[in-house]
Amino acid sequence: MNATSPLYELKDLSKRYTRGKETVTIFDALDMTISAGDFIAIMGPSGSGKTTLLNLLGGIDRPSSGEVHFEGQRIDNLSQGKLAKWRAAHAGFIFQFYNLMPTLSAAQNVELPLLLTRLSGKARKDRVKTALDIVGMGDRARHRPGQLSGGQQQRVAIARAIVADPKVLLADEPTGDLDRSTADEILETLQLLNAEMGKTIIMVTHDPAAASHAKRELHLNKGRFEEKGKA
Amino acid sequence: MFKQTTAVTLLNLRSIPQRWGMSLATVLSIALVVGVLLGFMAMASGFRATVDGAGSDDVAIMLRGGAMAEMNSNVSRDEVRLLEAAPGIAAGAQGDPLISSELYVVADALRRTTGTRSNLALRGLGLHGPELRPQFSLVEGRMFEPGAAELVVGASVQREFEGFSLGETVRLGPNEWTVVGIFSTGGSVFDSEIWTDLGVVQNLYQRGSGVQTVRARLTSPDDIEVLREHVGNEPRLNLEVLTERDYFARSAGGTVTLIEWAGWPLAILMAIGALAGAWNAMYASVDARTRELATLRAIGFGGFPAFIAAMVEAIVLAFLGGLVGAGATWLLFDGVSASTLGSGFTQIVFAFAVTPGAAVQGVILAVIVGVLGGFVPAIRAARIPLLAVHAD
């Protein structure tokens, strides 16, 4: 990828669902580019397609038509196996309900993406420690999710998302299940990852306060984007 | 792939305690299937061991031609005399042939466990009768006196039926008898019999001078052919000559086959039920972990590790069920005494025998249930839609 090419390029992207005999169009002919190092908040009313868009960007759903390019490579038409490898190499996911494995410790949860790499056990441990330290959870490595607060679990989930050093973090309502002050801490962590580690972050949220932590706010409504200006 | 599969498999197995109710139900239902199968197999092998233990290769048994069992055989006094001079029969210490003419009648007695009356074999036998049972030993008391209404009682009879302790007087039909001895033949079918002098049985049961069978010790096992040829060539003898082992194998075969044929279909029918249970448990397991499995796939894990992990979980639960079933059957039934109707319409007391071979068959059946019960849910696990990552 050269310096001017975008990280993501969406071309004429459409997503439709069939519900019974009815076809529901979520968005149609959507074009969009996302630059490396960006921190974008995608907002919009319920059902506007925010999460659907995030799924398409993360390769966990496929468009009805159109193309998704990542670093110049088209990803929407990759086979399931290749798409899984692409996700493992390039994307980190952060979910509203953390999606941690309840029977694994924080460190074991964070290590999961590294099991898909050729790293040695020691290298994996080092990477896990670093990731947990970055999110301030180094001292909770042996705790299981049930022994952690919601905010702490989300930090562990962020550590899991960054441990394999992906270029993009895709966050779906990452603060939707947290109180205000904890949510702010999580958002500051995301800002830190964006500013200091250069991670491109695409965050879906319905919370304007959360969106205000992003560099760009895109409002998705009736299948069209509207960008809110930021200082 | 190996690391992925191991990680997902361990994840599955570790989460079993979170679904302990369903998992335990699966283990127990499979244990029940194995228990039923092993119960029947233990019965069959115990019965077979008891009957096989009674048979000897160097003892010939002679019955009326065409008679399938002692009960419907009849050997005349003249035939017995001719047999005493037949070749291939060993001689006793006094030089007389080692032959025992035998007659048995059905008596009934009260069972200790059920309080009901069951048939017992009362066998009248000749002087050499006990010698022809190699494992015979007198455990208590003495042998009966010829001509006296005295009994020696098999160890199983004494254990299972009331009124047969040493010195007791017992009424069998219209006659009273005194128990003067307890014998053992090492757990063979003879332990389920009561013995007395042949002449007393012939007299008290008005059977004249006829007997039902003649047993003879052969000079060697090969001499069965010599004896058979002699009997076949003697026009005054209409007898079938068998080794005692062949005779018991023929008598027991039907019963053993019947038990096994009852056991397997019943176990298979129950296995189908357990299969449904395993299927449900595994579906519940996959459903409970839908978001976890989808999350793993979103991270980049493939579907195959999820398939293997679900299969391993099903097989582990089934294997545990097999072990529990085999262990419980062994604890509850191995060595337990029971009885069934033998070919002579009398009770044969035998001990259930849970053999290692049967236990292995039970565990294999359990694993098959696990594999079949886990397969479709495992496919479902491998095909969990990625969008399930957002499930709450």
Query: How do residues B219-265 score in pLDDT, each as one tens digit?
Result: 999 999 999 999 999 889 889 999 988 887 777 666 777 777 777 77
pLDDT at B338 over 70: no
B76 shares its domain with B225: yes
B84 shares its domain with B134: yes
- Domain range for residue B105? 66-237
Handedness of CA B34, B39, B44, B45 (dihedral sign): positive
Count of beta carbons in the 10 Å neighbourhood of residue B337: 14
- Tell me the backbone φ, ψ of residue A78, rounded to 5 degrees: -70, 155
- What ipTM was estimated for this complex? 0.91
pLDDT at A221 over 50: yes
pLDDT at B314 over 80: yes
Hey, is B215 helix, strand or coil? strand
Instruction: State the amino acid at position B384 in one-letter form.
Output: I
Contacts of B386 in chain A (CB under 8 A): 55, 60-61
Taking residues B204-219, what's their average pLDDT? 90
DSSP character at residue A230: -
Q: Round to whole Å and give the CA distance between A10 and B347.
A: 86
Which of B3, B295, B302 shows the shortest C-beta gap to A84? B302
B162 shares its domain with B214: yes
The answer to whether residue B78 is domain-embedded is yes
- Of B210, B237, B264, which residue constitutes the final position of a domain? B237
**Which tokens is B239 given?**
């007898």
The answer to whether residue B61 is domain-embedded is no
B309 shares its domain with B350: yes
Q: Output the pLDDT for position B139.
A: 92
The answer to whether residue B344 is domain-embedded is yes
Of B251, B252, B341, the C-alpha closest to B63 is B251
Contacts of A88 in chain B (CB under 8 A): 299-300
Mark yes or no for CB contact B7/A112 under 8 Å. Answer: yes
Q: Output the pLDDT for position B341.
A: 57
Q: Round to whole Å and give the CA distance between B388 and A61.
A: 11
Can you give the length of chain B in residues? 392
Q: Output the pLDDT for position A88.
A: 92
pLDDT at B144 over 90: yes
In this prediction, residue B52 has a pLDDT band, given cuts at 50, 70 and 90, of low
- Of B237, B271, B294, which residue constitutes the final position of a domain? B237
Instruction: State the amino acid at position B87 in one-letter form.
Output: P
Summary mean pLDDT of chain B: 85
The answer to whether residue B104 is domain-embedded is yes
pLDDT in tens, A41-91: 999 888 888 899 999 999 999 999 999 999 999 999 999 889 999 999 999
The answer to whether residue B244 is domain-embedded is no
**Which tokens is A208 given?**
């304007």
In this prediction, residue B141 has a pLDDT band, given cuts at 50, 70 and 90, of very high
The answer to whether residue B105 is domain-embedded is yes
Count of beta carbons in the 10 Å neighbourhood of residue B94: 6
pLDDT at A2 over 50: no
B145 shares its domain with B12: no
The answer to whether residue B305 is domain-embedded is yes
Give the percent of chain A with pLDDT over 90. 61
Which of A51, A87, A104 shows the shortest C-beta gap to B298? A87
Taking residues B320-347, what's their average pLDDT? 76
Measure the CA angle with vertex A49, ends A47 and A52; round to 5°. 125
In this prediction, residue B340 has a pLDDT band, given cuts at 50, 70 and 90, of low
Say which residues have a Cβ less than 8 Å from residue A85's Cβ, sequence separation at least 6.
Answer: B300
pLDDT in tens, A160-175: 999 999 999 999 999 8
pLDDT at B343 over 70: no
Mark yes or no for CB contact A99/B11 under 8 Å. Answer: no
Q: Output the pLDDT for position A190.
A: 92
pLDDT at B346 over 70: no
- Tell me the backbone φ, ψ of residue A96, rounded to 5 degrees: -60, -40
Instruction: State the amino acid at position A161 in one-letter form.
Output: A
**Beta-sheet strands, E only, within A96-229:** 168-172, 200-204, 216-221, 224-228
Q: Round to whole Å and give the CA distance between B142 and B162.
A: 20
Contacts of B12 in chain A (CB under 8 A): none
Handedness of CA B55, B56, B57, B61 (dihedral sign): negative
Contacts of B14 in chain A (CB under 8 A): 103-104
Can you give the length of chain A in residues? 231
Which of A88, A97, A101 shows the shortest C-beta gap to B300? A88
Q: Output the pLDDT for position B374.
A: 87
B87 shares its domain with B229: yes
- Tell me the backbone φ, ψ of residue B177, rounded to 5 degrees: -130, 155
In this prediction, residue B140 has a pLDDT band, given cuts at 50, 70 and 90, of very high
Of B206, B201, B221, B66, the C-alpha closest to B129 is B201
Q: Output the pLDDT for position B210.
A: 85
- Of B237, B260, B293, which residue constitutes the final position of a domain? B237
**Which tokens is B372 given?**
């079949």
Give counts: helices (H), strands (E), chain A. 7, 10
Contacts of B302 in chain A (CB under 8 A): 81, 84
Q: Round to whole Å and give the CA distance between B21 and A137.
A: 34
Mark yes or no for CB contact A88/B390 under 8 Å. Answer: no
B342 shares its domain with B281: yes
The answer to whether residue B60 is domain-embedded is no
> Which residue matches tokens 């007389």?
B96
CA distance B274 to chain A (A): 28
Taking residues B60-80, what's their average pLDDT? 86
Domains of chain A: 36-60+77-228 (3.40.50.300)
Taking residues B112-116, what's their average pLDDT? 81
B117 shares its domain with B228: yes
Residue B86 vs residue B336, higher pLDDT: B86
B220 shares its domain with B75: yes
Mark yes or no for CB contact A81/B296 under 8 Å. Answer: no
B227 shares its domain with B147: yes
Of B390, B381, B385, the C-alpha closest to B8 is B381
Pairing of strands B117-125, A65-70: unpaired
- Tell me the backbone φ, ψ of residue B263, rounded to 5 degrees: -70, -50
Burial label for B314, CB within 10 Å (0-12, 13-18, 19+), is buried
Which of B14, B301, B386 shows the shortest C-beta gap to A60? B386
pLDDT at A1 over 50: no
B48 shares its domain with B71: no
Contacts of B300 in chain A (CB under 8 A): 84-85, 87-89, 113, 116
Number of domains in chain B: 2
Q: Which residues pair with A9 in a beta bridge?
A: A33, A69
Q: Which residues pair with B301 in a beta bridge?
A: none
In this prediction, residue B42 has a pLDDT band, given cuts at 50, 70 and 90, of confident
Q: Output the pLDDT for position B226.
A: 92
What residues of B are in the A interface, CB distance below 8 Å?
A: 3-4, 7, 11, 14-15, 18, 291-292, 295-303, 386-387, 389-390, 392
Which of B292, B300, B387 shows the shortest C-beta gap to A87? B300
Contacts of B4 in chain A (CB under 8 A): 115-116
B255 shares its domain with B196: no
Q: Which residue of A has its CA nearest to B11?
A: A103
Residue B351 vs residue A200, higher pLDDT: A200
Q: Output the pLDDT for position A231.
A: 46
Q: Output the pLDDT for position B143.
A: 94
Mark yes or no for CB contact B298/A60 under 8 Å. Answer: yes
Of A124, A123, A127, the C-alpha closest to A138 is A127
